[in-house]
Structures are given as structure tokens and as C-alpha cells.
């Protein structure tokens, strides 16, 4: 029989899903979780690009061409397996081992919508966006990850909520001021001088998702409202 982990019925954990860190979470008790993701995608991509460029220099259907195609297939399969394994472990950790019964994540389909709006971009920005898309949607498999989370949460008797994540990265969770947050900025430094919050960008976003979940409209009963800043404790869970 599967080992049962203790569950807090009124517990809530909200996650920001991302590229640098797969999932950054905050609980109703103000505790932070950092779950690292698949680290070696860069290594695999480099290898794959190298094999492909070698192959493309060969005559099509030549013996070398066919051999390199096979190698390419083998390496990309290995990459996929490693990645899936990593996502499985992470979703299992969230659904099966964390104590909070309610799990909240942002709605990723909105992210794509934001990226589709690209009429005024320069060619450089266009290339950048394409690379970013490849990173988010193919290499990280965030969609696959949310699907895994969905069925694992059902299996472990948890409630998964998917809510709008609009501006959760841009907004300061303390003073609600909004500022641009390009991907390379890993730290949120609130430019509102009366506030001056300095916080990890993913943690700030997770707190916003958590607060948005509590403030969500519609019938829901007896959620415990507690300030996420009361007991700031950072706990690194695991990095695969
Ligand atoms: Zn602020």
C-alpha cells in the first residue's frame, strides 16, 4: 500500500511555473518551495544541433546521413525521457508529498496569447521570441507538466485550481505597483520608493497567484486568510 502523507485540509499552496525554476510555491503559512526542473536541456540541445548540422552536410540517403539520423533520434529520445522523468518527479512531489490540499497554478494558455501579439517586433525580437517559445513550450514541457499535475492531484485527493496569472510577474505583491519584468531580471525590485520590496521574482509572482486565489470571485467557503509575509521561511525542496 502507498504511504499516506499527512494532509492539511485547509492548506493552500500556490505555484509560479517558470523557465529558470520549474515551480516556485508559497503556502498559506508563508513557506516557500523551490522545485528545480530539467537542468540539462542546454547540453542536449547543443548536442542535437551539432549532430544535425553534421548530417545536413552529408548527401541525402548516404550511409553517413542515415547513421547520423539514427544518432539524432536516439539522443532526442534520451532527452525527452529524462525530461519527462523530471516532470513526473516534480508533479509527484507536489501532488503526493506536500501537505496542502489546495494546489493553485497560473493559466499557461494566457502566456501564449501574450506572445502571439508580436506585430511590432523587430527581427531580433522575433528570433528571441521563437527561442523563448521553444524553451517554454517544448523544452520545459510546462503543458505536459500541468497535465501530470491534474491527474496526480485527482489521484491523491487534492484540489487543483488554475487561475489567471495576468501581471502576476509584473506586480509588486505588497503595494500592487506594476513594472516591466524582462526574463533576465531574476529579482523583483519595486520601483515605488515608498515600498522598495526586494524579492525573488518567482516568489513574488507565487504570492500574487496565492492572493488572487484567495480573492477569487464565486462561492467558496472558509478559506483561511493569512498574510504570506508573516513567517517568511525559505525551504529548498529538491533539485533534479
Ligand atoms: Zn512595492
Tell me how far the alpha carbon of residue 192 lies from the centroid of ligand 1, in angstroms: 6
Tell me how far the alpha carbon of residue 7 lies from the centroid of ligand 1, in angstroms: 33
pLDDT digits (tens, 9 = 90+) for 105-144: 998 776 654 455 566 677 877 777 766 665 555 556 787 8
pLDDT digits (tens, 9 = 90+) for 57-110: 999 999 999 999 999 999 999 998 998 899 999 999 999 999 999 999 998 776
3 state SS for the chain: CCCCCCCEEEEEEEEEECCCCCEEEEECCCEEEEECCCCCHHHHHHHHHHHHHHHHCCCCCCHHHHHHHHHHHHHHHHHHHHHHHHHHHHHHHHHHHCCEEEEEEECCHHHHHHHHCCCCCCHHHHHHHHHHHHHHHHHCCHHHHHHHHHHHHHHCCCEEEEECCCCCCCECCCCCCECCCCCCCCEEECCCCCCCCEEEHHHHHHHHHHHHHHCCCCCCCCCCCCCCCCCCEEEEEECC
d(CA 178, CA 192): 9
Instruction: Specify the pTM.
Output: 0.76
d(CA 156, CA 132): 33
Residue 219's pLDDT band (boundaries 50, 70, 90)? Answer: low
- Half-sphere exposure at residue 69, Cβ-oriented, CA atoms within 13 angstroms: 10
Identify the pLDDT of residue 134. Answer: 58
Check whether 227 has a pLDDT greater than 70. no
- Residue-wise over 157-185: b if at least 16 C-beta within 10 A, else e? ebebbebebbebbbbbbbeeeeeebeeee
Tell me how far the alpha carbon of residue 198 lies from the centroid of ligand 1, in angstroms: 8
Q: Higher pLDDT residue, 143 or 174?
A: 174
Check whether 19 has a pLDDT greater than 80. no
Tell me how far the alpha carbon of residue 167 lies from the centroid of ligand 1, in angstroms: 14
Tell me how far the alpha carbon of residue 184 lies from the centroid of ligand 1, in angstroms: 19
Amino acid at each position: 500500500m502507498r504511504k499516506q502523507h499527512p494532509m492539511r485540509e485547509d492548506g493552500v499552496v500556490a505555484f509560479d511555473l517558470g523557465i529558470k525554476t520549474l515551480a516556485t510555491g508559497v503556502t498559506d503559512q508563508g513557506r516557500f518551495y523551490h522545485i528545480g526542473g530539467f537542468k540539462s536541456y542546454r547540453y542536449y540541445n547543443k548536442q542535437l544541433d551539432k549532430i544535425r548540422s553534421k548530417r545536413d552536410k552529408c548527401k541525402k540517403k548516404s550511409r553517413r546521413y542515415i547513421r547520423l539520423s539514427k544518432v539524432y533520434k536516439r539522443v532526442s529520445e534520451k532527452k525527452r525521457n529524462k525530461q519527462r522523468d523530471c516532470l513526473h518527479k516534480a508533479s509527484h512531489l507536489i501532488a503526493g508529498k506536500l501537505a496542502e490540499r489546495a494546489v493553485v497554478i497560473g493559466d499557461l494558455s494566457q502566456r501564449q496569447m501574450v506572445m502571439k501579439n508580436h506585430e511590432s517586433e523587430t527581427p531580433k525580437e522575433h528570433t528571441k521570441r521563437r527561442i523563448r517559445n521553444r524553451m517554454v513550450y517544448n523544452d520545459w514541457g510546462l503543458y505536459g507538466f500541468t497535465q501530470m499535475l491534474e491527474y496526480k492531484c485527482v489521484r491523491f485527493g487534492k484540489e487543483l485550481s488554475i487561475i489567471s496569472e495576468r501581471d502576476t510577474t509584473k506586480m509588486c505583491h505588497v503595494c500592487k505597483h506594476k513594472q516591466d519584468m524582462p526574463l533576465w531580471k531574476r529579482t523583483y525590485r519595486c520601483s515605488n520608493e515608498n515600498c522598495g520590496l526586494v524579492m525573488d521574482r518567482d516568489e513574488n509572482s507565487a504570492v500574487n497567484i496565492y492572493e488572487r486565489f484567495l480573492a477569487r470571485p464565486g462561492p467558496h467557503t472558509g478559506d483561511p486568510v493569512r498574510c504570506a509575509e508573516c513567517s517568511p521561511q525559505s525551504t529548498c525542496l529538491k533539485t533534479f
